[in-house]
Amino acid sequence: MIKTLNIVNGTACINIMKEAKIKGDFLPWKDFLHEGPVPAGLSLEELSTIRAKFIASHGLGDFSTIKKDFEIRDQKLKSYKEYDKIILWFEHDLYDQLQMLQILTWFSTQDLSNTELTLICSDKYLGESSVQQIQKLLLYSTPIVEEHLDLAQEAWEAFTSETPKKWASLLTEETEILPFLKGAVYRMLQEYPSTKYGLSRTEYQALQAISDGQSKALNIFKKSQSLEGRKFMGDVLFWKILDNFEAHGVIKKEGANFHLTPLGKEVLEVKKNWLNITNIQRSIGGVTLTNDNLWCWDMKKETIKQYYYSEPLNTLLKVK
């Protein structure tokens, strides 16, 4: 009997996959790599420690427990030679595509001579699929070849770089062998502060949802999600955005309801820039965004550039 390991994005899809009679063991990756530090040049174990610290800092468990979970996960991956076949099941969204890049990059340095490595990339959310849809996906299993591994390695190196230049350059390359990669690259770039508002796309959607009359936290989240072509963000990270807005007086909470403040209206009306209200401290892949290391996304030109913020001029000036 062929022994199979199914690597999936998280635990939510495993029950439906088992119901669909997908054979083999399951390894959920369980990391939202689109948020927090993902520096270059680290071993799997070293990066897992950094990610565990970041995830714990968001109140999603204590560090020792999360680190132990990652250790178990990583050890399972490293035992791949115990399996005849490895199937990577990933969706089209940013959350999944980054996980896929990390795992393919790891496999690119392993001995695969006795391992059948295949990829299933779906434009549907696995956890929301029917039994029949899951079973049908097996028909579209693609053998992973050197070209997959090379592109994944290039993209992962770009994502973990200290600047977003290499990541942005992927938009002009041939990436069809990983059909959803370019969409993930583009969406990640939109999470950088915009030159217009100083807000990331998610921050803008949250503020606009409140401006449009959504006042309950869950409804604000749902409205923001409805604007995503490929949903990728969980609610815990979204609540952090609302907390930050409230802490800086952009929104106000009364009971269970959020309202836009006059300052928040000025941000949406481009009279005030969010970057002039908050001290930015955020990691995206290998990039650490601060007021002194500021990269912004130009929505009109669809380019990423380095800027510094000139408070007296209340404007963004491009670094030459």
Taking CA atoms, 129 is separated from 97, 115, 125, in Å, by 18, 28, 6
For the chain, list the domains and their CATH numbers. Answer: 4-188 (3.40.1360.10), 192-318 (1.10.10.10)
At residue 312, the 3 state secondary structure works out as coil
Q: Which tens digits make up the pLDDT trace of 123-161?
A: 999 999 999 999 999 999 999 999 999 999 999 999 999
Taking CA atoms, 57 is separated from 96, 297, 316, in Å, by 22, 27, 31
What pLDDT does residue 315 have? 65
What pLDDT does residue 320 have? 45
pTM: 0.94
Q: Locate 104 and state its tokens.
A: 């393919």
What does the pLDDT average to over 224-242?
Answer: 92
Q: Which tens digits make up the pLDDT trace of 179-230?
A: 999 999 999 999 999 999 999 999 999 999 999 999 999 999 999 999 999 9
Share of the chain above pLDDT 70, in %: 96
Residue whose token pair is 């565990």: 52
Q: Which tens digits make up the pLDDT trace of 11-51?
A: 999 999 999 999 999 999 999 999 999 999 999 999 999 99
What pLDDT does residue 58 have? 85
Alpha carbon 212 to its chain's center? 26
Share of the chain above pLDDT 90, in %: 89
Sign of the torsion formed by the C-alpha atoms of 158, 161, 166 and 167: positive
